[in-house]
Amino acid sequence: MEYSLVCTNCGHAYDQFYKSQVCARCGSFLEVVYKSEPKAPTAARGSFWDFSGVLPEGKYRKYEVGMTKMFSDAGDDRLMYKLETDNPTHSFKDRGSVIEVAKAKEYGFDEVACASTGNMAYSVAYYSKLYGIRSRIFVSREANKDKIEEIMSTHDAVITRGKWDFTGAQKEALKYASKTGAFITGDYCYRKEGQKTIAYEIISSAKNVSNIIVPVGNATLLSGTLKALSEMEAAGAIKRQPKVIAVQSERCNPFSKAFNYKGMVKYTVPSTSADAIAVGYPTFGDMAARQLRQNGGMAVSVSEASMRRAQKRMKEYYGLTIELASAATIAAYDSLKPRLKGNSVAIISGGNV
């Protein structure tokens, strides 16, 4: 779809041929704003690209991604899982990378830069190699060493690892992109558009969904999910939005604190073992908090022990290896179950451990 890019801070608008995801005036991140109402198919036919009607216009190679499996919990017919480990690099990040890296190629870039705790690096490097683009990845101290080694050995990425956390890595990636002319990728507007397709898939695949449980790191998936639900409601595809439940670890929960105390997101030093959501300052945090309040949803924090129990249960019951960030959504469901009405979908965001 035709679109413009609007700065979330100063409001300056750019056309869709603007070759960045960051505002040239104030340095804040941009938002994709469509020129007409996004309209998705009422029922997907089996391809991620069925949702092109809700994605930015672009020159995409239609790689296989998304349309991941959903299945019901064996002991609880009110709980379903959305299994994002089915994606090529085993996490939901591929939904965004397939859009974002395509934009870099379309705009003529030969290198991308991004910050990551692990999964983003894996995904961006994977699609960059497919598109013939070099990738420079800045990783945080929390980044999983096994993930990073595999990225370097199989996807030709150049990895820069520092003592910073994810927020620091993000600053380094921006500096590098500004200095070298690389296209900045990561938790920005094009990724958000790709990741919002997860909500479209859930609604097109499952009936009577009352709650969608989303793990929160940089809040890009959360913001995208909420954007998709608003688009569907505006288009008349759904009568009422499912409530969204945002989940963080008790040991890294800047979003949950801000949401529940009705304040702005403030930086928190990450200390969680759930590396995929170890983000001290969520880029989309303040925007997602406003969206979540409009949705009527909630934000919760779960313990490290509860995530490990959920992770173990998924292995024992289903033979599935999931990361702690994924287990966070199950742990949240376990704690909220007596309060929840209707059917819930827990997003299993990744399986890279």
Question: What are the mean pLDDT values of the chain's consecutive 10-residue runs (353 residues total)?
Answer: 96 97 96 91 79 96 97 96 97 98 98 92 94 93 74 82 90 96 97 98 94 98 98 94 98 98 95 94 97 98 98 97 98 97 97 85
pLDDT of residue 199: 97
Dihedral sign from CA coordinates of 214, 219, 221, 225: positive
Give the amino acid at 67.
M
State the DSSP code for 242: P
Extract the tokens encoding 163: 């003592």
| Within this chain, domains 70-91+192-348 and 93-190 share the same CATH topology | yes
Strands (E), the chain: 3-7, 13-15, 30-34, 70-73, 76-83, 111-116, 134-139, 158-161, 183-184, 209-215, 243-249, 298-302, 343-348
CATH class of the domain comprising 70-91+192-348: alpha beta
Residue 15 backbone dihedrals phi, psi, to 5 degrees: -80, 175
pLDDT of residue 152: 78
Provide the CATH topology of domain 93-190: Rossmann fold (3.40.50)
Give the amino acid at 64.
E
pLDDT of residue 273: 94
| DSSP-derived 3-state class of residue 110 | coil
In the chain, where are the structural domains located? 3-34, 70-91+192-348, 93-190
pLDDT of residue 46: 86
C-alpha angle with apex 343: 338 to 346, nearest 5 degrees?
Answer: 90
